[in-house]
Chain A
Amino acid sequence: MRLAKVTLIWVALAAAICVPISAAALSPLLAWRGPVYILAGFAGIIALGLVLVQPLLIAGYLPGLSGYRGRRAHHWIGGALAVAVVIHVAGLWFTSPPDMIDALFFTSPTPFSPFGVIAMWAIFAVALLAALRRRLGLRTWRIAHMSLAVVIVVGSVVHGMLVEGPMETVSKAALCALVLAATIKVMADLRVWRKRTTSR
């Protein structure tokens, strides 16, 4: 029974991330894209998958990765998320510099661009704050990180849903729904917003 539950959780997580990636890999649109553009797109899809993993890790919901191991994995996945976003943006820049410049300067005609750019800056901000977290104090760090996490999740989900690209609609919507659900559940469970005395 216990093993069945563990297996189910990991299979469900793998499916939630791998099904959208596989569906996108079958998209006919890829035939008309260059390798760099394809790489940039998949870096974005993988980043969205990592955004699902992050709250699950930090809350210790993933079997075998609770407590310290979960937090260590959360740190490393956070770094990987920042790298994936850099690849996403750099690849799109290479594919069409003027479109990427428009997006970064918030002058793009596409409604999803500002959501993606804001989420990108929030991801970079968390990475920077994480490096400085010992100087911030636990409570400040937590509030800053959780606020930015909300920006990252909402920005990423809206960005992803509005983009019309190789991602298949149903699997994309399911992944986005899971990202939102996981974030809400973890936020509620961790009670980080509640005042409490903390010691480090």
Chain B
Amino acid sequence: MTTVVFNRRNLLAAGGTVLATGVSGLLLPARAQGIAPTPSMSGGSNNYRKGAPTVDRIGKGGFWMSGTVRRAGDGAPLANQRIQIWAHTTEGQEHEPQSHGATLTDKNGVFRLEMPQIIPIFGQPHGHLAYDSGEFMTVFLRPVMRSAKETSLEAHFVLQPA
């Protein structure tokens, strides 16, 4: 039953995004070429540990967190940007150091980090991501999985200069 709710919500959110993008593109042609910066999500910074180490993999892995980092305005991919990732997983709670790790984007602005399976915490299976390196404005994301059974999650950053 919860799956249905999440699906509908996601559908609404996705539909809303498409609608907003489409409509604003039509109504505001001047802004159509400018890609808007991603705002921080509410609750995104919860249990953040500043300066978690860059790792090849968090714990034993099995779950993939991936996404992109682009620049606001022209949407150019940003290489070598540090993204920190954390979540409540099968190997630790959200606040525990072993649940945190960071990775860098490649030349296409893509990051991808293997981590333990995320499980529902505080009522939703979700992950946390942070860009907090100073060159651009800090952004905290908190994507929610459609189902707790999924083994991957994506989050995308569009950053604006600090």
A interface residues (Cβ-Cβ under 8 A, vs B):
29, 32, 34, 92, 95-96, 98-99, 102, 107-113, 161-165, 169, 173
Check: B88 CB closer than 8 A to any chain A CB.
yes
Residues A102 and B42 in contact in the complex (CB < 8 Å), given A34-B93, A111-B9, A164-B2: yes
Q: Which 6 A-B pairs have the closest CB atoms?
A: A98-B46, A163-B123, A109-B43, A164-B2, A109-B42, A164-B120
Check: B27 CB closer than 8 A to any chain A CB.
no
Q: How far is the CB of B17 from chain A (nearest CB, A)?
A: 16
| Residues in chain B near residue A165, CB distance under 8 A | 120, 123
Check: B94 CB closer than 8 A to any chain A CB.
yes
Residues A29 and B120 in contact in the complex (CB < 8 Å), given A98-B43, A99-B43, A111-B9: yes
* Pair B123/A169 contact, Cβ less than 8 Å: no
Residues A110 and B124 in contact in the complex (CB < 8 Å), given A98-B43, A99-B46: yes
* Pair A108/B42 contact, Cβ less than 8 Å: yes
* Pair B90/A32 contact, Cβ less than 8 Å: yes
Q: With A107-B42, A109-B42, A173-B1 given, can you name 6 additional A-B contacts, CB distance below 8 Å?
A: A32-B89, A92-B122, A98-B45, A109-B43, A162-B123, A165-B120
Q: How far is the CB of B42 from chain A (nearest CB, A)?
A: 5
Chain A residue at minimum C-beta to C-beta distance from B93: A34
Instruction: Report how far A102 CA is from B140 CA in the complex, Å.
Output: 15
Residues A110 and B46 in contact in the complex (CB < 8 Å), given A32-B88, A96-B94, A169-B2: no
| Residues in chain B near residue A111, CB distance under 8 A | 9
Check: B119 CB closer than 8 A to any chain A CB.
yes
Check: B26 CB closer than 8 A to any chain A CB.
no
| Residues in chain A near residue B18, CB distance under 8 A | none
Chain B residue at minimum C-beta to C-beta distance from A100: B122
Check: B109 CB closer than 8 A to any chain A CB.
no
Check: B125 CB closer than 8 A to any chain A CB.
yes
A-B contact pairs, 29 of them (CB 8 A): A29-B119, A29-B120, A32-B88, A34-B93, A92-B122, A96-B46, A96-B95, A96-B121, A96-B122, A99-B47, A99-B122, A102-B43, A107-B42, A108-B43, A109-B41, A109-B43, A109-B44, A110-B43, A110-B123, A112-B123, A113-B123, A161-B1, A161-B2, A162-B123, A163-B2, A163-B123, A164-B123, A164-B125, A169-B1
| Residues in chain A near residue B94, CB distance under 8 A | 96
Instruction: Report how far A95 CA is from B9 CA in the complex, Å.
Output: 27
Chain B window 57-84, contacts with chain A (Cβ cutoff 8 Å), 1 for yes, 0 for no:
0000000000000000000000000000
Chain B window 90-102, contacts with chain A (Cβ cutoff 8 Å), 1 for yes, 0 for no:
1001110000000
Check: B28 CB closer than 8 A to any chain A CB.
no
Chain B residue at minimum C-beta to C-beta distance from A107: B42
Q: How far is the CB of A79 from chain B (nearest CB, A)?
A: 26
Instruction: Report how far A66 CA is from B45 CA in the complex, Å.
Output: 52
